[in-house]
Amino acid sequence: MFLESAPSGYDQYRVDVPRGQMATVEYESGTVGGKRKCMIYTPPMYTEELKYNVLYLLHGIGGDEEEWYKHANPQVILDNLYADDKLAPMIVVLPNGRAMRNDRAEGDIFAPDKIKAFETFESDLLHDLIPFVESHYAVLTGSENRALAGLSMGGGQSLNIGLNNPNHFVWVGAFSSAPNTKTPELLVPQPEKTAASLKLLWLSCGMEDELKHVSDRTHAYLADNHVPHLWYEEGGGHDWPVWKNDLYHFSQLLFR
């Protein structure tokens, strides 16, 4: 699919628009054993009197719960989209996808125990973080009200976890998925079932990304097996301009 790049200024702070809020919060994780941090963006005019959808947005191998915030200012992109009436109301949760006691991106970030922790996150997300969010924020709790997306390792997690849990997520987005992505046959063993359960399956990748073979392989299998998905090849590499552009487009498609 061809999408125009996000218009210039989409990621620039506008003085005249209502702002959402970005906060760091802690939740108890039975999976990891102890408190874990995540960031949560509540949209402009957030009120407990309404109920909101939730996008869980995951980081890459070199990051943590602050990665999107530090590199992409997602709150600016989202505030601007709200101001232009282009987003369905949603909270955005920025978890730490490395579910282990020391979840900082330090030392050898490719060490096997650290890679494994990106798998363990499935349990932390389903059993610890989602229940926390749903008991502390004014949110809708159906599968049609939850989206899961991420970049690189987080893109692989979104596919691995999202497609494995159709009762939890019907909006799934993978930006520049990393080699942690399961093989397509494992990801989508029953193509008809996956096709019937999802509202949106988004796959995107920069054309100069050295990991593009991962997304190519997933896309080819989905196409061969008639699983509807949005396939977006864009200019750029394994980098923030691509992921910011993905957030700009993907977020507008959610919860419609």
Contact region for ligand FER (CB under 6 A) — 64-72, 85-93, 173-181, 223-231? Answer: 173-181
Among positions 91-120, residues that touch ligand FER (CB under 6 A) are 115
Tell which one of 18, 30, 142, 179 touches ligand FER (CB under 6 A).
179
Is residue 174 classed as helix, strand or coil in its secondary structure? strand
- For position 153 contacting ligand FER by CB under 6 A, the verdict is yes
Q: Chain-centre distance of CA 144, in angstroms?
A: 15
Size of the site for ligand FER (CB under 6 A): 8
Least distance to ligand FER from the beta carbon of 62, Å? 6
Tell which one of 31, 158, 180, 181 touches ligand FER (CB under 6 A).
180
Is residue 166 classed as helix, strand or coil in its secondary structure? coil
Question: Distances in Å between the alpha carbon of 131 and those of 9, 17, 28, 163, 225?
Answer: 36, 32, 10, 19, 34
- For position 75 contacting ligand FER by CB under 6 A, the verdict is no
Tell which one of 22, 32, 94, 178 touches ligand FER (CB under 6 A).
178
Least distance to ligand FER from the beta carbon of 206, Å? 12
Question: Distances in Å between the alpha carbon of 78 and those of 18, 43, 73, 245?
Answer: 11, 8, 9, 12
Residue closer to ligand FER by CB (options 61, 247) is 61
Least distance to ligand FER from the beta carbon of 151, Å? 7
Q: Which of 244, 31, 230 is nearest to 124 (CA)?
A: 31
DSSP 132: H
Contact region for ligand FER (CB under 6 A) — 128-136, 177-185, 227-235, 246-254? Answer: 177-185
3-class DSSP string for 100-123: CCCCCCCCCCCCHHHHHHHHHHHH
Least distance to ligand FER from the beta carbon of 102, Å? 18
Q: Chain-centre distance of CA 183, in angstroms?
A: 19
Least distance to ligand FER from the beta carbon of 153, Å? 4
Angle at 242 between CA 240 and CA 244, to 5 degrees: 65
Tell which one of 60, 74, 95, 97 touches ligand FER (CB under 6 A).
60
Angle at 163 between CA 71 and CA 65, to 5 degrees: 25
- For position 174 contacting ligand FER by CB under 6 A, the verdict is no
Residue closer to ligand FER by CB (options 175, 248) is 175
CB atoms near residue 108 (< 10 Å): 8
Tell which one of 38, 55, 57, 61 touches ligand FER (CB under 6 A).
61
DSSP 128: I
List residues binding ligand FER (CB under 6 A): 60-61, 115, 152-153, 178-180
